[in-house]
Amino acid sequence: MLTGMLADRRMMALVDRECAVVVPENEMKQYVVAAHADTLDFVPGDALADWATRHGKKLRGHTLLWNRAEYIPRWLSERYADAPAAALATWLTGYVGATAAHFGARIHSWDVVNETVDPATGALRDTMFNRKLGFDALRLAFTAARERAPHAQHVYNDYMSWDAGSAKHRAGVLKLLERFRAEAVPVDALGIQSHIGAEGDMTTMSEREREWRGFVDLVVAMGYRLLITEFDVSDHSVGGTVSTRDAQVAAVGKAYLDMMLSYRQLEHLLCWGLVDRYSWLQNFSPRPDQQPLRPLPYDAGYGAKPLRAAIAEALKGAPRRASQS
Ligand code: XIL
């Protein structure tokens, strides 16, 4: 959700009807909450949290540390670039603790750290936090979140995927998850963003699926729970008519969800938006032919698309979870 959507009554009616769990796209990120030095702004996050409370929705928190240089507030980078590491550690612990405590029991699951692994190398990204504090940045964030929001699930969230080009990313995430366990860092689950592409024919699917299962099997063997945190299926390079594109998006989405739902450790399925018009991908990765993308279950006119039916079918066909009544 985005605060901009709150004024769109049709949109919010759709969210109300379709979702049991909601997540703010940006409103709890450092670049919003800590946009200005020495003050925390919880107003946008509270607006969405209030909506969730009023409508009886569970709320996920996203994210206490989006560990990429481009998303760290500029004033923070400027102030701490040459400061002693201990000063930055104090800021981070204070920030994470205050934010986790502010939202408190309203949030049942937090993406504590987001995208700290460099997909090109599998190492930790080159960010101010990682440069100055190394792995301790992550340890501090998870420890502070656990201390100040002990009721919540604490998640490491990233976008490693089943694509062949994602092998180093997957290996890096596995290494990180192993280290969390080895050093008893309190991490409960892996958030698998699941921004997938609809390109490629279905015959390549089984190879991708085999590689991916190898990764997920190792993650669950370490005792992590799984979440799909940001599902969408991009038709960036899919040709043909709108209905061909929609069918391809639905088919790939269904295959992906069937595979993911076969893991009983999977707890949540969140889409990154419901209506194509609001999808972040329209700006982030537009189609070469300039036509609007169709990556979400509802079209710009709020009509259900084949992806909506594919999600419903995948959920209906899924093995039951232990937590299901
Ligand atoms: C995106 C939002 O959807 C956009 O509105 C914003 O401009 C940039 O961030 N992975 C994440 C999300 O973890 O936080 C990103 O959200 C999408 C990719």
- Please write the tens of the pLDDT for every residue from 145-199: 999 999 999 999 999 999 989 999 999 999 999 999 999 999 999 999 999 999 8
Rounded Cα gap, residues 292 and 3, in angstroms: 22
Ligand 1 neighbourhood includes 71 CB (under 6 angstroms): no
Rounded Cα gap, residues 79 and 37, in angstroms: 9
Ligand 1 neighbourhood includes 114 CB (under 6 angstroms): yes
User: Ligand 1 atom 4: the closest Cα is on which residue?
Assistant: 280
Ligand 1 neighbourhood includes 26 CB (under 6 angstroms): yes
Find the domain containing 187 and state its range. Answer: 3-317
Residue whose tokens read 């088919």: 251
Nearest ligand 1 atom, CA 115:
13
For residue 325, being part of any structural domain is answered with: no
For residue 324, being part of any structural domain is answered with: no
Ligand 1 neighbourhood includes 3 CB (under 6 angstroms): no
For residue 83, being part of any structural domain is answered with: yes
Number of domain units in the chain = 1
- If pLDDT is split at 50, 70 and 90, which confidence band does 204 have? confident
Ligand 1 neighbourhood includes 25 CB (under 6 angstroms): yes
What's the CATH number where 137 sits? 3.20.20.80
The predicted-structure confidence for 106-127, as pLDDT tens digits, reads as follows 999 999 999 999 999 999 999 9
User: Ligand 1 atom 7: the closest Cα is on which residue?
Assistant: 280
The helix-helix angle for 205-221 and 242-261 (nearest 10°) equals 30
What distance in angstroms lies between residue 26's CA and the mean position of ligand 1's atoms?
7
The predicted-structure confidence for 225-265, as pLDDT tens digits, reads as follows 999 999 999 999 999 999 999 999 999 999 999 999 999 99
Rounded Cα gap, residues 309 and 303, in angstroms: 12
What distance in angstroms lies between residue 81's CA and the mean position of ligand 1's atoms?
25
For residue 323, being part of any structural domain is answered with: no
For residue 194, being part of any structural domain is answered with: yes
Q: Are 136 and 178 in contact (CB under 8 A)?
A: no
For residue 180, being part of any structural domain is answered with: yes
